[in-house]
Each structure stands twice: as structure tokens, then as C-alpha cells.
Amino acid sequence: MTRFLRHARLLLLCLIAVLGLALLVVFYWPEFYLHSARQALERRDFAAAHADLERYLAARPDHAEAHLLLARLERRANRYVEAARHLDACRRLGGFTEEVQLERALLALQNGDFDARLEQICRRHAVPGDPEEFFILEALSHGYSKIGYLPEALFCLNRMLEIQPDNGYALRRRAWIYSTWRKHDQAEADYRRAVEIDADDRTARLGLAQLLLDVKQDGAAAFEQFDRLWAVQKDSPATVGRARSLLLLGRTEEARQLLDDWLRSHSDDSAALTARGKLALEERDLALAESLLRRAVALAPAEPIANHTLYHCLIQQGKTSDAEQCQARFQQAEKDIKRLDALMQHLKEQPDDPDRRCQVAEIFLRHNQGAEGERWLLTTLRMHPDHAPTQKLLTDYYRRIGRHDLADQLATASKPDERDISPPSRKQPGR
């Protein structure tokens, strides 16, 4: 009997230990995800951090810090609605009041919604030594780029690279600004450094490849970069860039085959149609060239290369009237490109100029880049709510796309945005 009691007591203790261990696992296992997410954030593995935080919130839906961390991740991925949702949850839970205020300011600024009050909130934290300095500068650089404040964006990126010299994001963003300013050697150096740091950085590699092809005219170097992109993901930029590099190298048959194979399943790719039409024109297959180029122009009416190539194709066939229409579109596109370059150079020094900003938007709208044109118009109205040309252009755009509700609001309101909004300050962050 004594032995039975001993065994029963031992069995009971084992059962209690197992139950206790099970309870510990159930209670503490989600904490592993939070710990793992923090580690992933430290090594900049944002995808892993996001997955761990989602798992953690599935078990701990009322954890304020996890909501705050997810809000930051969603903002940095440009998922602004999701970021705002997590910030609302964090505020509802009563946690991290100052951090939520900062994150809300960064969310607005990164999306190009600038005002002096929001900048001041960020500037209080964007000081050397503050653990949030880098991420604040990252958001500001993104927002400044969106509204055309490229010198301010460059200042932020330079400071980010002082803090993290091997940050690929800052390098490729700075390379893009250098390319915009036609500082191609500096852009190439930054793109090359970015792909050295992260060979899988597709954005940086594509920027480098396009620069080598379009500016340097280095077919071999461009092909190497496009080929690496194409091996991983066969999309339009990689395919067309690869084909154009092959043509530059004199490998015509390979380029023709590549474009023909691509167009069989991507018949609405205007860039591929233009490249293949240009090749057909060079090979004197005028009927094929005209067919391809007409399709390209129908898809992208303001695209200069397609119009210019179609013009030459039609002239060679004596189709003068149609050719003149292509020439007119080409000349307008060339004029717009030169004008846009001059406007951007002007805005480097006077980014608040509403007339020039409105003209930039007008060019984007004329080239069927509605989202970009709308963004320029909206940010201009935030700075200058009473600027009549901007109001009219945006009203006309909304009517053209069928958004009569927004057009009516603009037409009747004395101010498009009733919030107290001041123009962005010219003071650089941290200065």
C-alpha cells in the first residue's frame, strides 16, 4: 500500500509538472515571437519581424508595444492605412503616448503631408544620439522626395549614411537624387555600393542597370546587371533592358527572340513593343514595325521614343499625315522633358514656388501619370490653399476621371483643406 501511495504521489507530481510546463508554454510562448521580432528589427529583417509580430498579436491582441512596432513596419512599407490602424490600437490601449504622437507625425510626413508643427515634433527627436534619429530621417527623406524638396531629402540621406554607412536604402535613394540632378558618376558609385552590400536589392540593381544602358551606353556592363535581374524575376524592365543591352552588343538574333517570346504573353507592354518595333524598322520590315509601334503609341500616347520611331517608319512609307501627328507628339514630349528638367532645377532653390509646382503637375498629367500629377497638386494646395491655377487644374483633372464629388468640393470651397497647415520649413532637420 505504501509503495502504491508512493507511485501515486510520484504520478501526481509528474502530472502537475507536465500541466505546469504546458501552462508556461501557453503563457510564455508568444513572448518568444516578441523577442524574435525585436532581434529581427535589429538586423533589419523586416519581413521576419512583421511575421513574428503578427503571430504575437494573434495571442496578445492588447499589447501596445507590438501594435506600435507593427505601425512602424507598416509605415516603412508604405502601407499607411494599416499603420494608422495599429496606432489607433496603441492609443486605445493607453501606451506609448509620446511615441504614438511621433509615429503619427512620421506617417503624415512620409506621405508628403508636411506642415511646420509636424516637422517640429520630428525635429525634437532627430538629434544625434537619439535612438529614433535614423528612422525619423528615413521618413523625412521619403516625404521630402515626394514633394520635390530634394536638397532637404539629400541632407537627411547624408546624415543617415553618417549613422549607418552601409545602409543600402539610403545609398540607392541618394543615387536616385544624383541621377535626377545628372550627377551620374556619383549615382553610379552609390548604386554599386548598394548592390555590393545587398546583392538582392532589386531597386538598386535596376537603377544601376538603367544608368549603364541609357547614360553610359555600356552594353556589356548593362547586360550583366539586367541578366542578374532577369534570372531572378522576368518582368518588363529586366526583359526589355536585357534585350536593349543585347542590341547594343550586336547580338540581334538573341534580342529579337527575347522580345518575341515576351510579347507572346505580354502583348500590352508598350516598352517591349517599342523596342521590337525599333528593331523591325532597322531591319526594314516596315509593316511589322508600324503595327508594333502603333500599338505602343496607343498604350502610351505621349511616349517620345515610340512616337519618334513611328514617325520615321511612316515617313519611309510615304504616310505623311500620320507621320506629322507622331512628330507633333514627339516634339511636345521632348519639350516637356526639357521643361520638366528646368522646373526641377528651379525647385531645387525655390521648392515652395506654386506656379512651377503646378507646371510640373501639368506635365505629369499630360503624360498620363495621374497619381503623380495629383500628388504634386495636392501638396501645392497644402502650401498655397488659394493658388487658383492649381485649384483649376486639379478640379479639371477630377472631372476628367469622373470624381465629380471632389471637383465640386474644390470648385465651391474657398480653401481645399480647412486644416491649419503651414508651408514646410526650409530649416534642415537637425540644423
Q: Which residue has the higher pLDDT, 369 or 426?
A: 369
Tell me, which fold does domain 354-412 have in CATH? 1.25.40
Per-residue confidence band for 253, with pLDDT thresholds at 50, 70 and 90: very high
What's the average model confidence in pLDDT over 253-266? 97
- As a whole number of angstroms, the distance between CA 67 and CA 172 comes to 29
168's grid cell: 543600402
- As a whole number of angstroms, the distance between CA 279 and CA 222 comes to 19
- As a whole number of angstroms, the distance between CA 358 and CA 57 comes to 45
Rounded percentage of the chain residues whose pLDDT exceeds 70: 88
Q: Which of 33-37, 94-98, 156-160 has the highest mean pLDDT?
A: 156-160
Q: DSSP letter string over 89-134? A: HHHHTT--HHHHHHHHHHHHHHTT---HHHHHHHHHH-STT-TTHH
Q: What is the pTM of this model?
A: 0.75
Tell me the per-residue pLDDT of 356-383, one tens digit each, with 9 for 90 and over.
999 999 998 888 788 888 888 888 887 8
CATH no. for 181-266: 1.25.40
| Residue 281 contacts residue 289 (beta carbons within 8 Å) | yes
- The domain ranges of the chain are 181-266, 273-330, 354-412
Sequence-distant (≥ 6) Cβ neighbours of residue 124 within 8 angstroms: none
Q: Which of 104-118, 188-202, 311-325, 352-366 has the highest mean pLDDT?
A: 188-202
Tell me the per-residue pLDDT of 270-325, one tens digit each, with 9 for 90 and over.
999 999 999 999 999 999 999 999 999 999 888 889 999 999 999 999 998 888 88
**Within this chain, domains 181-266 and 273-330 share the same CATH topology:** yes
Superfamily of domain 273-330: Tetratricopeptide repeat domain (1.25.40.10)
